[in-house]
Amino acid sequence: MPLLFPLVLSALLFAIGTYAVLARRNAVLVLMGVELMLNAVNLNLVAFDAYLRDVVHSGQVLTLFVIAVAAAEIGLGLAIVLAVFRSYGHIDADRLRALADSDAVDEQIAAEQTVGTEETAGGPVPADAAGGR
Amino acid sequence: MSAVEVLFVLLGVVAVGSALLVVTTGRLVHSALWLVVTLGALAGCYLLLAAEFVAWVQVLIYVGAVVVLLLFALMLTRAPTGPQLGETTGNRALAAVVAAAVAIVLVTTVVAGFGGVRISLDDALLGSAGSTGEAIFRFWVLPFEVLSVLLLAALVGAIALSRPVRHRSGGEGD
């Protein structure tokens, strides 16, 4: 098999993932684009493992590591997305302009949120749970 | 072209086509389901490239876990299930240009670098569970253990992030 087959396929997948990251508005779909890019890299690693006939299987083992790191990344990323949804009421990447967590920003968000009704997705906060994070 | 090459090209076409659908469809849930097709086709590609264990891990982790997580996130953020009009940002054209430029640069680079090079799959080392496990636990033990710590850290971080917000200054309590 020509080495170009997997390499071109992974280049195309990487470009498609780039488009998803840049163009999608929903933050979950942006994460899907990241997954596509990671898979393109994995395909490269596996292809070069087969091409170089590596005895210690560096490419395949690294692919497994990348898959594990991607699982960690998607878990953390979705936790962040859910936290953003809980405090802003939407996960629209275009409208998420504030990185800060200051009170002024909170008030501005609260003013914006008077239109969109939203309730937290989490459970009730225990009354005695004091202390900041 | 041999049977393996034909199969690889077919799987590649399926992967690229469904990836395009992932990034262009207006229905968010369909997007996650097309991602399953893309990842499954890639698992087939891994099988053809003699990476058997990686292919099954791909099916287990990506198709089994990651896509389910994505679907959960879509549901928890109350993603609408119907077709959406404004699912792409305003700079969609710019993003398409950047993506096309990335594709052109990468494809010309790999064609210039590896045109005519062939993988000889007949005597390829099969990456079965046995050989991959031996490679991991003989040569890659330290990265493997570090990775387990990383996964634990990510797990704890995800739990800490997704706890209910407890309130600073007692405003708009939830």
Report the CATH number at residue A64: 1.10.287.3510
Distance CA A98, CA A101 (A): 8
pLDDT at A133: 40
- Please report whether residue A53 resides in a domain: yes
- Please report whether residue A69 resides in a domain: yes
Q: Of B37 and A94, which is predicted with more confidence?
A: B37
- Please report whether residue A131 resides in a domain: no
Distance CA A109, CA A103 (A): 10
Residues listed for chain B? 174
Q: Tell me which DSSP letter residue B88 carries.
A: B
- Please report whether residue A18 resides in a domain: yes
Report residue B163's pLDDT band, with 50, 70 and 90 as the boundaries: confident
- Please report whether residue A124 resides in a domain: no
Report residue B167's pLDDT band, with 50, 70 and 90 as the boundaries: low
- Please report whether residue A132 resides in a domain: no
Q: Which of A3, A23, A78 sits opposite B118 (nearest CB)?
A: A3
- Please report whether residue A90 resides in a domain: yes
B33–chain A nearest CA distance, Å:
11
- Please report whether residue A130 resides in a domain: no
Among A8-12, A106-110, B55-59, the least confident range: A106-110
Reading the block at residue B77, the tokens are 């953020």
Domain range enclosing A87? 4-113
Distance CA A35, CA B30 (A): 16
Domain count, chain A: 1
Residues in A 74-133 with any Cβ partner in B closer than 8 A:
74-76, 78-83, 85-87, 91, 93-94, 103, 106, 110, 119-125, 129-133
Residue-wise pLDDT tens digits, B86-107: 667 778 889 999 999 999 999 9
CB B38 within 8 A of CB B10: no
| C-alpha Rg value of chain B to the nearest Å | 21
CB B50 within 8 A of CB B121: yes
Residue B142: phi, psi to the nearest 5? -65, -50
Residues in A 14-73 with any Cβ partner in B closer than 8 A:
14-20, 22-26, 28-29, 31-33, 35-36, 39, 42-43, 46-47, 49-51, 53-57, 60-61, 63-65, 67-73
Q: Which helix (H) or strand (E) holds A55?
A: none
Residues 6+ apart with CB under 8 A from B71: B29, B32
Residue A24: phi, psi to the nearest 5? -80, 145
pTM attached to this predicted model: 0.82
Q: Of B168 and A73, which is predicted with more confidence?
A: A73
Mean of pLDDT values over B58-71: 90
Other CB atoms within 10 Å distance of the CB of residue A45? 22
Percent of chain B with pLDDT over 70: 90
